[in-house]
Chain A
């Protein structure tokens, strides 16, 4: 697999050379492959948001490099906009960025900044709306007349419409109801599977991350603590708890069963897997047939 994003000794310091100096990202090096689904977890203030804002050049790193397809994104500072089209970024509470008269025009803002027009633009908008589950009749409404969940979808569609090679989502499900979270998450996953592009998801919900991510980046106090396969990361439950994170509930239960001496495999992430593990255990012990 070829790497699409590579970070080399990346650091960022807020308010350098002032009394308020604060290191937000400290010497991070890692490489993300084309087509991967990456999760980023970390306590509030661990530097996640700063890290992802450096991926598309919204923040210029104080030290180190971000390589996109092997090229330093800050090699030509004047062309940083092109990087932003390749690395799409959905911020927390993206619905507050809506501004156009209609949802359609708002979704078209990104792709038309890229220079798309006519049929191409129309297709990009309609496809993005479809991916995020926005009904076609909503496209002609004012974004301010939509419900909270619909606004969120419209805002996400506005980034997806640029068809970025890498899509970064910062807590896309925050503030939605449980049903809305579920649906939005599965739509993002669906999008990832169809387009086969790289998705980076920042989230506080371990359950969400466990469900979708291939690999997980764990941040603590501006540093990279772990970067490994989802199963591997969540089998380090005790370490995660030490830095104020937790593992998905079902993983925790399985972990505790294992600590009690039951023969259960590591890194169980979903209820289905847990069911399979427990029932095979019970079968082996002859409790059920």
Chain B
């Protein structure tokens, strides 16, 4: 069923990471993603990996769900690490046909695997611990300076939160429509590619119609509550940076310093 697709799941909680300012979380994530790709030897890689584990443990979300999020990328990880494994430079330690195995290749494969895994885990940590509302709120606040160049920040943020809110609804709707068309003998699981694409028409048209209907309904509902865009609008829950966020920034700052120091004083593995 379509419903099984996990998308931007959020697990409510009160952990240290849950209570961080969502803006801080986004900024920290960006810095973290950059620093993942600045690890060039095993010490810095270990530092980053242990920081990731610490992050997962302090998020209060069961590690089971993190593993689940990794399942999706298993194929990409295997593919890229295999590619890297055989594209290393230097003396081959084993060779067969076009496959050349080098120390450099093995190192590269390990690095790319750990980096991708850390990347997914950290991004999952953000979506697991931050509700979609908080996320869009934070993005709106972070993009506020763009208002000066007449970029419609609030409108974009509102569109984002509406879109996120309708993902589960539309998935459920797709399920229902598919069942109804299957009951009328629609065949969606067999036949050539063109046939299968054609078989989607009876699902997509009702889905679009209902999406438009819902859009009209929600627009009317918003107007009934006097919504008229962003200017002069205040927040019910305003977000504030606190000591907690300062602590988080410091922690990541230390990791970044560690990685840089490792890079300067230790030899690179790749």
A binds B: yes
A interface list, Cβ under 8 A from B: 53, 56, 58, 81, 84-85, 88-89, 91, 94, 96-99, 109-110, 113-114, 144, 158-159, 162
Query: With A53-B179, A58-B179, A91-B176 as given contacts, are A97 and B185 in contact (CB-CB < 8 Å)?
Result: no
Told that A96-B206, A113-B185 touch, could you supply 4 new A-B pairs with CB distance under 8 A?
Answer: A89-B180, A97-B177, A97-B180, A109-B181
Give B182-225 as 1s and 0s: 1 = Cβ < 8 Å from A's Cβ atoms: 11111100000000000001100110011000000000000000
Q: Are B180 and A94 in contact (CB under 8 A)?
A: yes
Q: Are A91 and B185 in contact (CB under 8 A)?
A: no
Query: With A96-B177, A96-B210 as given contacts, are A56 and B183 in contact (CB-CB < 8 Å)?
Result: yes
Q: Are A84 and B179 in contact (CB under 8 A)?
A: no
- Nearest residue in B to A99 (C-beta to C-beta)? B205
| Across-interface contacts of B184 in A (CB, < 8 A) | 84, 97, 109-110, 113, 158-159, 162
| Across-interface contacts of A88 in B (CB, < 8 A) | 183
Nearest-neighbour CB distance to chain A for B160, whole angstroms, equals: 26
Q: Are A99 and B182 in contact (CB under 8 A)?
A: no
Give B84-128 as 1s and 0s: 1 = Cβ < 8 Å from A's Cβ atoms: 000000000000000000000000000000000000000000000
Nearest-neighbour CB distance to chain B for A41, whole angstroms, equals: 22
B interface list, Cβ under 8 A from A: 173, 176-177, 179-187, 201-202, 205-206, 209-210
Within the complex, which residue of B183, B206, B210 is in contact with A159, where a contact is CB–CB below 8 Å?
A: B183
Sample of 28 A–B contacts (CB below 8 Å): A53-B179, A58-B179, A58-B183, A81-B185, A84-B182, A84-B183, A84-B184, A84-B185, A88-B183, A89-B180, A89-B183, A91-B183, A94-B180, A96-B173, A96-B177, A97-B177, A97-B181, A97-B184, A99-B202, A99-B206, A109-B184, A109-B185, A110-B185, A113-B184, A113-B185, A144-B209, A158-B184, A159-B184
| Across-interface contacts of A144 in B (CB, < 8 A) | 209
Query: With A81-B187, A91-B176 as given contacts, are A97 and B206 in contact (CB-CB < 8 Å)?
Result: yes
| Across-interface contacts of A89 in B (CB, < 8 A) | 180, 183
Within the complex, which residue of B173, B183, B185 is in contact with A114, where a contact is CB–CB below 8 Å?
A: B185
- Bound-complex Cα distance A91 to B210 (A): 16
- Bound-complex Cα distance A96 to B208 (A): 11
Which label, helix, strand, loop or mixed, suits the secondary structure of the B interface?
A: helix
| Across-interface contacts of B179 in A (CB, < 8 A) | 53, 58, 91
Within the complex, which residue of A99, A113, A162 is in contact with B201, where a contact is CB–CB below 8 Å?
A: A99
Q: Are B182 and A58 in contact (CB under 8 A)?
A: yes
Closest 10 CB pairs of A and B: A113-B185, A99-B205, A110-B184, A97-B180, A89-B183, A91-B180, A99-B202, A99-B206, A58-B179, A96-B206
- Nearest residue in B to A15 (C-beta to C-beta)? B4
- Bound-complex Cα distance A40 to B205 (A): 32
Q: Are A98 and B182 in contact (CB under 8 A)?
A: no
Nearest-neighbour CB distance to chain A for B126, whole angstroms, equals: 23
| Across-interface contacts of B205 in A (CB, < 8 A) | 99
Within the complex, which residue of B176, B183, B185, B206 is in contact with A98, where a contact is CB–CB below 8 Å?
A: B206
- Nearest residue in B to A98 (C-beta to C-beta)? B206
Nearest-neighbour CB distance to chain B for A249, whole angstroms, equals: 32
- Bound-complex Cα distance A85 to B184 (A): 7
Nearest-neighbour CB distance to chain A for B159, whole angstroms, equals: 25
Nearest-neighbour CB distance to chain A for B6, whole angstroms, equals: 12
Nearest-neighbour CB distance to chain B for A142, whole angstroms, equals: 11
Nearest-neighbour CB distance to chain B for A148, whole angstroms, equals: 12
Q: Are A109 and B177 in contact (CB under 8 A)?
A: no
- Nearest residue in B to A114 (C-beta to C-beta)? B185
- Bound-complex Cα distance A94 to B183 (A): 11
Q: Are B177 and A113 in contact (CB under 8 A)?
A: no
- Bound-complex Cα distance A26 to B177 (A): 26
Nearest-neighbour CB distance to chain A for B80, whole angstroms, equals: 30
- Nearest residue in A to B182 (C-beta to C-beta)? A58
- Bound-complex Cα distance A158 to B184 (A): 8
| Across-interface contacts of B180 in A (CB, < 8 A) | 89, 91, 94, 96-97
- Bound-complex Cα distance A113 to B183 (A): 11
| Across-interface contacts of B183 in A (CB, < 8 A) | 56, 58, 84, 88-89, 91, 159
Q: Are B186 and A113 in contact (CB under 8 A)?
A: yes
- Bound-complex Cα distance A268 to B22 (A): 64
- Bound-complex Cα distance A96 to B178 (A): 11
- Bound-complex Cα distance A219 to B205 (A): 35
- Bound-complex Cα distance A159 to B182 (A): 11
- Nearest residue in B to A113 (C-beta to C-beta)? B185
Nearest-neighbour CB distance to chain B for A97, whole angstroms, equals: 4
Q: Are B182 and A109 in contact (CB under 8 A)?
A: no
| Across-interface contacts of A113 in B (CB, < 8 A) | 184-187
